[in-house]
Amino acid sequence: RPTHPQDHRELRQRGSWPALAVVGVPLALCVVMAGMALVALCRSISQLTVAANLLALLLAGLGGALTPLSVLPDWARPLAPGVPSYWAMRGFSTVVLDGGGVVDVLLPAAVLCGFAAGLTVVTLVFFRSAHPKLTWS
């Protein structure tokens, strides 16, 4: 329980709710399509679990979702724009921290849509319903 007014701090969104949706919907689509692409590429549930966990940590870390980009090694910073989490963080930061609106997040949203489209292509190329996944072997 806060005893002093400054002890109670909240993160308040400064931007518009529609702008959050403009970033959130393509991000959700990107996450779903990443899962589908992994299902298409992996032969077993074990492979899928390992790949999903490793990629989630790698992409979140590289994109600035786990740590600020400024503390990443010099070699990693130029790679950050190549992962969806970078663009999601850029869009969400624009809305929540900077008070941005829909127009301000169109670029991050478009890039997330591009990632989702690329992952859709991977899924369509490699998914075979005739090849069932092995269980935990």
pLDDT of residue 137: 54
Model pTM score: 0.86
pLDDT of residue 134: 72
pLDDT of residue 3: 61
Of 74, 106, 76, 75, the residue nearest 90 (C-alpha): 106
pLDDT of residue 2: 54
C-alpha 67/C-alpha 77 separation (Å) is 12
* 72, 82, 84, 60 alpha-carbon torsion, rounded to 10°: -30
What residues contact residue 94 under an 8 Å CB cut-off, 6+ apart? Answer: 15, 19, 100, 104, 105, 108
Quick one: how far is CA 58 from the chain centroid?
11
Average pLDDT of adjacent 10-residue blocks, the chain of 137 residues? 62 88 98 96 91 95 91 93 96 94 98 98 92 68
In one-letter notation, the amino acid at residue 132 is: P
**What stretches of the chain show up as alpha helix (H) in DSSP?**
17-41, 45-63, 84-96, 106-126
Residue 34: burial class (beta carbons within 10 Å; 0-12, 13-18, 19+):
buried
